[in-house]
Amino acid sequence: MIRSSAAEMAAKLVTGEVTSVALTQAHLDRIASVDADVHAFLHVDTEGALAQAAAIDAKRAKGEKLSPLAGVPLALKDVMAQKGIPTTCGSKILEGWRPPYDSTVVANLKKNDIVILGKTNMDEFAMGSSTENSAYGPTHNPWDLTRIPGGSGGGSSAALAAFEAPLAIGTDTGGSIRQPAAVTGTVGVKPTYGGVSRYGLVAFSSSLDQAGPCARTVLDAALLHEAIAGHDPKDSTSIKAPVPQVVAAAKSGDVKGMKIGVVKELNGDGYQAGVRARFEESLELLAKAGAEIVEVSAPNFEYALAAYYLIAPSECSSNLARFDAMRYGLRVGDVDGAAAESVMNLTREVGFGKEVKRRIILGTYALSSGYYDAYYGSAQKVRTLITQDFTNAFTKADVLVSPTCPTTAFKIGEKANDPLAMYLNDIATIPVNMAGIGGMSLPSGLADEDGLPVGFQIMSPVMKDERMYSVGAALEAALLSKWGAPLLDKAPIMGGSK
Amino acid sequence: MSSLSRDDVAKLAGLARIEMSEEELVALSNEFTVILDAVARVQEVAGADVEATSHPLPLRNVFRTDVVVPSLTPEEALSGAPAQEEQRFRVPQILGEE
């Protein structure tokens, strides 16, 4: 039962073949049997999830009209505020904090009767590509427990790949939904910036952060996308326009006559051979499905990584100033007569991890008088150039594609002491955030050299998210008929149960 | 080549309100030599003729009607406070230092 897609689970809930309580319990059992090895969850809300499921079953029994995913369980990235439930953002500075309100994403999940199982692990404040920066220890990739599940949303991607949940919420600032999806053989979507409300999402880099759906199939991601998206008066940057029809696109999967642009700069040197092979194979399948493959160039993408590592730290140095030990979270050194400034300094020393401190200092430097123009100002100009590259490319193609990441999952600890090597993981995902467009990663197979999952990235213009779902669904169908079974069937069986 | 000395990092840490050990200051100053070289590449293409983008959406002055809606109770707002007194956040001494 836990290996089905969310859509299949929803169908069984409708026919009464299974109840939400039974489905939720099955996932809680699965978490209990495998999460000691995977460590996808920071908090499991057993009572809350079962109570929510029972309430949904009761509504259904009364004949109430329910939403498409009603009764299906979900794992929530710990960056999202959920009323009364511990929300740490992977940081010691928020240990024990229970938000007094729901984020809009959580409110939408509850409105759609999606059962929230618990909170998933992440790099502290979403800064990282491996989930090794969590203050609560790393998450392990279900394909190989010695490897990283991606980051920052490694808990969400690992929970999906280990069948601990059929759906999950992620947030993507530079690739934190798509890169974890790629390295775990799952699907992850970063919607258009402003497509999903940021209210109650602990801010890292406000002009880049975007919440989105994580799932095991393209249709499941689309169903979750429509459940959480839409304009929100509580987020002044949320787009006041109808939600793109992503479910219809995922159901049709029609790419006939569509132009698919291969981004020349996001391939080649630095990309693992098996990653390139799976990418080429996917292109052939899309051509066979009726799409036209064209090549496009985005000459300024090579500067995206540098610009990102100025813009994101700058915004983070400002956003994280709120953790001042005064209103919530950790407070250290509040002894008699201690000054507020010293309490702040001591609290932030103990409460923040190494990478968070590194980025706050970098951001403080990039924004400081005398260096602002050379660093932050120049990075903002690069942002303009990247957006122009996308605009030009979208005149030649309906969607753009690339491998999601240059490599498959690396070993835990392998890059932990080399920040620049770690940052390179996001080289193909970052341009999307800079321009605020949509991006999806879906599994394209396993690399021959290491047998690990490879991600295929699809990028669509602002508020044309349905296009990436059409292409994703077409590719998923073609790959499924080639493989004969979902990719995750090839992953090691964990916990001894199906 | 850009670089940051141990003292530069100490100054930045002070501005960012983070206490740092001697080892951390030295380690960060070494790392920054490499990181700053990498990020300084943005200057290669950031000509005077290129406009800056601070945000992906062309939004300005988003307004809403001024309607009173329910908000957090004082108890809820104070629920995460490290210390409180008389329905207020109790904070360490701010004035009168030195």
| pLDDT greater than 70 at residue B1 | no
Measured in degrees and rounded to the nearest 5, phi and psi for residue A4 equal: -70, 170
Contact A286, A474 (CB under 8 A): yes
Minimal CA–CA distance to A13: which of A68, A79, A88, A76? A68
Task: Map residue A332 onto helix, strand or coil.
Answer: coil
Query: What Å distances lie between residue A141 and A12, A13, A405, B19, B21, CA to CA?
Result: 29, 30, 16, 35, 34
Shortest Cα distance, chain B CAs vs residue A489, angstroms: 39
**Cα separation, B75 vs B88, whole angstroms:** 10
Contact A348 B44 (CB under 8 A): no
Residue among A124, A364, A371, A386 with most chain B CBs within 10 A, to mutate: A364
To the nearest 10 degrees (0 to 180), the angle between helices A354-366 and B6-15 is 90
Contact A234, A371 (CB under 8 A): no
| pLDDT greater than 50 at residue B35 | yes
Query: Which residues in chain A are contacts of B13 at CB distance < 8 A?
Result: 361
The one-character DSSP state at A135 is T
Measured at the CA of A161, the angle between CA A448 and CA A401, to 5 degrees, comes to: 60
Query: Which residues in chain B are contacts of A438 at CB distance < 8 A?
Result: none
Residues 6+ apart with CB under 8 A from A385: A300, A303, B45, B50
Query: Which residues in chain A are contacts of B56 at CB distance < 8 A?
Result: 193-194, 207, 387, 434-436, 462
Contact A233 B93 (CB under 8 A): no
**Helix or strand (DSSP H, E) at A119:** strand A115-120
Domains in chain A with CATH codes: 6-302+382-490 (3.90.1300.10)
Query: Which residues in chain B are contacts of A359 at CB distance < 8 A?
Result: none
Measured at the CA of A464, the angle between CA A103 and CA A265, to 5 degrees, comes to: 105
Shortest Cα distance, chain A CAs vs residue B28, angstroms: 7
A342 annotated active-site:
no
Contact B57 A193 (CB under 8 A): yes
* Domain made up of B1-44: CATH architecture: Orthogonal Bundle (1.10)
Report the chain A residue with the minimal C-alpha distance to residue B32: A362
pLDDT tens digits in sequence order for chain A, 498 residues long: 999 999 999 999 999 999 999 999 999 999 999 999 999 999 999 999 999 999 999 999 999 999 999 999 999 999 999 999 999 999 999 999 999 999 999 999 999 999 999 999 999 999 999 999 999 999 999 999 999 999 999 999 999 999 999 999 999 999 999 999 999 999 999 999 999 999 999 999 999 999 999 999 999 999 999 999 999 999 999 999 999 999 999 999 999 999 999 999 999 889 999 999 999 999 999 999 999 999 999 999 999 999 999 999 999 999 999 999 999 999 999 998 899 999 999 999 999 999 999 999 999 999 999 999 999 999 999 999 999 999 999 999 999 999 999 999 999 999 988 888 889 999 999 999 999 999 999 999 999 999 999 999 999 999 999 999 999 999 999 999 999 999 999 999 887 544
Contact B39 A434 (CB under 8 A): no
Cis peptide bond prior to A497, omega within 30° of 0? no
Joined together, the tokens standing for residue A247 give: 């479910």
Given this model, what pLDDT does residue B95 score?
77
Options A176, A197, A238, A317, the catalytic residue:
A176
Please name the residue that has the structure tokens 């620049």.
A420
**Cα separation, A482 vs A476, whole angstroms:** 10
**Cα separation, A26 vs A2, whole angstroms:** 7
Options A152, A238, A317, A470, the catalytic residue:
A152
Joined together, the tokens standing for residue A368 give: 């400081």
Selecting from B15, B52, B79 the residue whose C-beta is nearest the C-beta of A100 gives B79
Cβ of residue B91 closer than 8 Å to a chain A Cβ: yes
Sheet containing A167-171: order of strands: A41-44, A115-120, A73-77, A167-171, A211-215, A187-190, A438-446, A453-460, A399-403, A259-263, A292-296
Contact A352 B18 (CB under 8 A): yes
Given this model, what pLDDT does residue B96 score?
67
**Cα separation, B30 vs A485, whole angstroms:** 50
Residue among A301, A378, A462 with most chain B CBs within 10 A, to mutate: A378
Residues 6+ apart with CB under 8 A from A168: A74, A75, A76, A77, A120, A153, A156, A157, A159, A160, A213, A214, A215
Q: Are strands A73-77 and A292-296 parallel, antiparallel or unpaired?
A: unpaired
Minimal CA–CA distance to A114: which of A199, A39, A253, A13? A13
As a residue count, chain B comes to: 98
What is the interface size between A and B, counted as CB pairs within 8 Å?
169
* Complex-level ipTM: 0.95
